[in-house]
Amino acid sequence: MEEFEVNNISLLSLIEKWEPKLQALPENVITHRKNSQSRTIRQILGHMVDSASNNTHRIIHLQYRASPLIFPDYANVGNNDRWIAIQNYQTEDWNNVIQLWKYTNIHIVHVIRNVNPDKLGNEWISALGDKVSLKDMIMDYLHHFELHLSEIDELISQN
């Protein structure tokens, strides 16, 4: 959809820019440096994979189910940390995590490009009780993506 295309192009550009940067990081940097949530770069990237997967799931459900929807909450009340721990991104092959991150996000762009515009007002209710429209969720995805890349950049820059 045209209204999302600027974000889609930005997302694809960031993936292209960051893939080689991520591949070049030394093991000690991706495994030991931690952000304010005590996540390593491996875990942040894994969280980004989970975010793409969960948001793809929401985008699809919001186009064929009655609105508003209630999903098992991923992003709030600590569940995203449970996902990171259960999947153990900390020990997964780094290249595999990078490729998962790359292709789940390329796929979400494809899904966004195929959203039914008549469904953009459909909403889901977060664990915090907030109603979020499909349109707002799609528009916010790039911001969330950039936020985590910024965290990774800060960790790379640490001495």
Mean pLDDT by 10 residues, the chain (159 residues): 91 98 97 93 97 96 94 78 93 98 98 97 91 96 97 92
What pLDDT is attached to residue 1?
Answer: 64
> Are the C-beta atoms of 119 and 63 separated by less than 8 Å?
yes
What is the domain extent for residue 123?
2-157
- Cβ neighbours for 101, distance < 8 A, ≥ 6 positions apart: 15, 22, 45, 48, 49, 52
> What pLDDT does 78 receive?
73
Q: What is the pLDDT of residue 116?
A: 97
Count of domains for the chain: 1
Q: Give residue 2's pLDDT.
A: 85
CATH code of the domain in which 70 resides: 1.20.120.450
* 3-class DSSP state of 124: strand
Confidence (pLDDT) at 113 = 97
pLDDT at 115: 97
Position 42 scores a pLDDT of 97
